[in-house]
Amino acid sequence: MTKACMKASRSLIRDFGEIENLQVSTKGPGDFVTSADRRTEKILIDELQKAHPEYGIITEETGIINKSNLKQRWIIDPIDGTLNFLNGIPQFAISIGYEEDGEIKSGVIFNPIMNEMFCAEKGNGAFLNNSRIRVSNKKLIQNALLVTGGPKAASKIKDKIFEEYANISKKVSNVRKFGSAALDMSYVACGRFDGYWQRELNYWDIAAGIIIVKEAGGFVDYFEEDQNLPLKKNILATNSNLYEKLKEFINKKDIE
Ligand code: IPD
Ligand code: CA
Ligand code: CA
């Protein structure tokens, strides 16, 4: 997984370098970004399939490959943080999770511009490049720096999401919106943020992040799950001290 990531990142870095030129062109970078997404995804799929052609794959751009293998699957987001990428902001990442029997067992999230590789494997801890990482030790939710994201332009629950954002903001030190769910979770894992929550995500946004946060000693949970939409997720991820409080705050309208 790390090898596939490193290979794909080479063309992604080149593509990111092009964005600045395209920003000032009349056509804009829109189509170019779509092709960068596809190019990155193709390299990832090719590399991963070389290692395990029999595994299933769920990707953002291509959809589901090898539908019959539900036991072992890779969950890929070639660029998480596309809007940042499109605007020349270096806050985006390649994200690959490996799922076995319905559970994420390992994950890699790589920001090629910052050269930060977050990875984890069940039972073996979480790492940023070669150093072991841990979630923060913050105990009081009023001191917590959280991160969230959304709503998407097409969201039907924008008001609810904004209301929740306002409510939670009043209860904590501050809330950031950085635009890459994969990196948001990685930052919780290494203690830069104390917690993260977000609605209306896709599985590939967070698959790798789940194991990275867990192996860094954090808690990950879903809320208001829709059993009919298994690839849609509402998620929270925190250190163990703040988990109960954040869960309580989510969707609570009457907190002041
Ligand atoms: C998006 C990012 C963003 C989140 C959106 C996602 P994309 O993924 O993770 O942080 O707020 O909900 O769709 O489209 O950049 O791969
Ligand atoms: Ca994504
Ligand atoms: Ca994406």
Domain spans in the chain, listed from the N-terminal domain onward: 2-132, 141-251
Fold of 2-132: Fructose-1,6-Bisphosphatase; Chain A, domain 1 (3.30.540)
Residue 30 CA to its chain's centroid (Å): 22
pLDDT for 253 equals 54
Instruction: Tell me which of 62, 80, 96 to substitute to probe ligand 1's pocket, judged by most ligand atoms within 8 Å of the beta carbon.
Output: 80
pLDDT for 252 equals 72
Digitized pLDDT (tens) for each residue of the chain, 256 residues in all: 999 999 999 999 999 998 877 766 776 777 777 889 999 999 999 999 999 999 999 998 889 999 899 999 999 999 999 999 998 999 999 999 999 999 999 999 999 999 999 999 999 999 999 999 999 999 999 999 999 999 999 999 999 999 999 999 999 999 999 999 999 999 999 999 999 999 999 999 999 999 999 999 999 999 998 888 889 999 999 999 999 999 999 977 554 4
- List the residue whose alpha carbon is closest to atom 14 of ligand 1: 82
233 alpha carbon, closest ligand: 1
Q: Which amino acid is at 153?
A: A
pLDDT for 162 equals 96
Ligand 1 atom nearest to CA at 149: 11
pLDDT for 34 equals 81
pLDDT for 24 equals 65
CA gap 178, 202 in Å, rounded: 17
Which of 125, 133, 146 has the alpha carbon at shortest distance from 211?
Answer: 125
- Ligand 1 pocket residue status of 151, Cβ below 6 Å: no
Fold of 141-251: D-Maltodextrin-Binding Protein; domain 2 (3.40.190)
Query: Residues 241, 248, 205, CA angle at the centre, nearest 5°?
Result: 80
154 alpha carbon, closest ligand: 1
- Ligand 1 pocket residue status of 181, Cβ below 6 Å: yes
Distance 114 CA to ligand 3 centre (A): 18
Task: Please provide the DSSP assignment of 202-247 as one string.
Answer: EHHHHHHHHHHHHHTT-EEEE-S--TT-TTEEEEEEE-TTTHHHHH
Distance 189 CA to ligand 2 centre (A): 18
- Ligand 2 (single-atom ion) residues, CB below 5 Å: 77, 80, 205
CA gap 229, 249 in Å, rounded: 24
pTM to 2 decimal places: 0.95
Residue 159: its H or E element: helix 158-171
